[in-house]
Structure 1
Amino acid sequence: MHPSTPGSTDQHVLHSAAQWLSAGSPVWLATVVATYGSSPRPVGSLLAWSADFGMAGSLSGGCVEEDLIARLRAGQVDGGQPQLLLFGDNAAEQARYRLPCGGHLQILLQRLGKDDLAGIQQMLAWLSSRTPFVREVSLHASGQRLTLLQHDSPQTCRLTSEYFIQPFQPAYQLLIVGAGEVARHLAALAQPAGFAVTICDHREEFLQGFDAPGAELRCAMPDTLISQRFADSHSAIVALAHDPRLDDMAMLDAFDTRAFYIGAMGSLATSAKRRERLTGLGVSSTQLQRLHAPIGLDIGSKTPYEIALSVLAHLLAERPQRS
């Protein structure tokens, strides 16, 4: 099974559930707890549904959701305690739900009421503060237990005869140092891939009129931003400024973090000079091994879009695996 790494989608689902519960509407929360063969959505994926407000999130390509909501509207599911539902356990259902060949999935369905609002709000608070935690749902009683994720906690989702246990890790985030065309394209590509994107540049003229929908823009030097917000293992830091003063500063601070990806844009010659400068500033050979420069996968990229695409592909290849 895969651990859940909530990003904007999961936060959207939980935020919607909290709003609907606050408005006095019961909410059904469905979680993918097991998959077999190929499946459209990984274990840990969430969906919330309210008869008054509709749906947030997804479990599959749409047909599973359609069937589930039809069952809920018809009152065919008991809301007294969590229910395990299996979809696609034969060829006919796989075709009906349009699941990939041989794939089927199991979901855990809970009916939430006003007593569950505090727990949903706690999950949202921890997600916002990038605090790892564990959600434990009893299969034989209503409610859930939330605890902070410890070193001895389960690191992957686990389904037993008694419980479903789901660890939540911080969402993946990307800090882009330097506002420019490559940064603009990378911001647009990285967000659908599950990254929250921040672009920082201390040069006000570079940010004036800069268009990067969905990304946070910060007029600042990267040092404080990196140490305070991009120091964990679910962060990536890329320097695209083409200004050694800005890019090198970002690299110096990035080496002191647990970021899973550190990269800087430039040719082979530029990258070799960068390594020489960083070595002269006291960066060790071990630290320099973490630096991807030239940045991205070698796909012969020339245009800003192609460079951004190569960077995203490398980010996805290096991103910590969820299995």
Structure 2
Amino acid sequence: MNSTDVSVLKSAVEWLKSGQPVAIATVAQTWGSAQRPVGSWLAIRSDGQVAGSVSGGCVEDDLIRRVQSAILTRSTPEMVVYGVIQQEAAHFGLSCGGTLRLLVEPKPELPVLEKLLENISAHQMTRRSVNLSNGKSTLNFGERSDEFICTEQEMQTTYGPRWRMIIIGAGQLS
């Protein structure tokens, strides 16, 4: 999990603790060029304040409007798709006519997000599964090799420290 995702998670936890309604959008799938990778998060408060990004700015305004007008009133996650047709891709500024599929959770569970943040802070790999029919999520041990999965029934994402390679030096070999 990169530092951007941690800051999104921290913001969502703080907002939920303060009683603010919050929705979390996760990049579930992309086609064509995408500014943000699968698994990227965006937390959206009911007043329109956001943390994170799912498209680099192309669809966020429309997504905020959707969350405020309809999604926060729901109890189950919703799949939102941008760029299905060429005109929509051009309208939202999606690169190369790409398509972006987002899973939007209108009522993320505070205790689960707090535990996820605690696990990440302790450098533990954690796999979060979200049941798409009821919006409930669970946490399990994760592995570095776990892949992002999003089916009609469930989304699974693994968070925690990833392998990194650090190259030191200013020469051509580095």
Q: How high is the TM-score relative to the length of structure 2?
A: 0.90
Q: Secondary structure at the match of 1:70?
A: helix
Shift in alpha-carbon separation, 1:298–1:33, aligned structure 2, 3 A: same
Q: 2:84 is matched with which residue?
A: 89
- Cα shift at 1:86: 0.5
Partner amino acid, structure 2, of 1:34: Q
- Report how far residue 39 of structure 1 moved: 1.1
Q: 1:106 aligns with which of 101, 112, 122?
A: 101
User: Which residue does 1:39 correspond to in 2?
Assistant: 34
Larger strand proportion, structure 1 or 2? 2
The answer on whether the counterparts of 2:75 and 2:107 sit within 8 Å (CA) in structure 1 is no
Structure (1/2) with the larger helix percentage: 1
Could you tell me which residue of structure 2 aligns to residue 64 of structure 1?
A: 59
Q: Tell me how large the CA RMSD over aligned residues is.
A: 2.1
Match of 1:298 in 2: 172
Structure 2 Cα separation of the partners of residues 53 and 103 of structure 1: 25
Letter of the structure 1 residue corresponding to residue 151 of structure 2: T
- Distance across 2 between alignment mates of 1:123 and 1:36: 29
What's the CA shift for 1:262?
5.9
**In 1: Cα distance, 2:23 partner to 2:156 partner:** 18
Match of 1:112, SS state, is coil
Q: Which has the higher contact order (CA 8 A, sep 6+)?
A: 2
CA distance 1:129–1:296, change in 2 (3 Å)? farther
CA pair 76-144 structure 1, distance change in 2 beyond 3 A: closer
Q: For 1:225-244, what aligned pairs fall within 5 Å after superposition? A: 233-234=163-164
What residue is the counterpart of 1:170 in the other structure?
161
Moved more, 141-150 or 67-76: 67-76
Query: Is the partner of 1:35 in helix, strand or coil?
Result: strand
The one-letter amino acid paired with 2:148 is C
**Inter-partner Cα distance in structure 1 for 2:35 and 2:143:** 30
Shift of residue 80, structure 1, vs aligned partner: 1.6
Structure 1 portions without partners, runs of 5+ = 1-5, 172-232, 235-259, 264-294, 300-313, 315-323
- Structure 2: 5+ residue runs without aligned partners? none
1:140-174 deviations in Å (ceiling 9; x for gaps): 112211111148xx611011121111112316xxx
Report runs of 4+ in structure 1 exceeding 4 Å deviation: none
Larger Rg: 1
Report if the CA contact (8 A) 2:13-2:113 is conserved. Answer: yes
1:143 aligns with 136
CA distance in 1, matches of 2:9, 2:50: 11
Q: 1:17 maps to what in 2? A: 12
SS in 2 for 1:137: strand
Identity of paired residues, percent? 34
**What is the CA distance between 1:72 and its match in structure 2?**
2.0
1:121 corresponds to 2:114: yes
- Alpha-carbon shift at residue 125 of structure 1 (Å): 1.1
- Partner Cα distance (1:44, 1:112) in 2: 18
The alpha-carbon distance between structure 1 residues 160 and 76, as it changes in their structure 2 partners (threshold 3 A), is: closer
Supply the distance in 2 between the matched residues of 1:166 and 1:296 (Cα, whole angstroms). 36
Cα deviation code 1:70-124 (max 9, x no counterpart): 11222266522111111111111111111111311100001126xx111111111
The count of aligned residue pairs is 174
Answer yes or no: is 1:27 the counterpart of 2:18: no
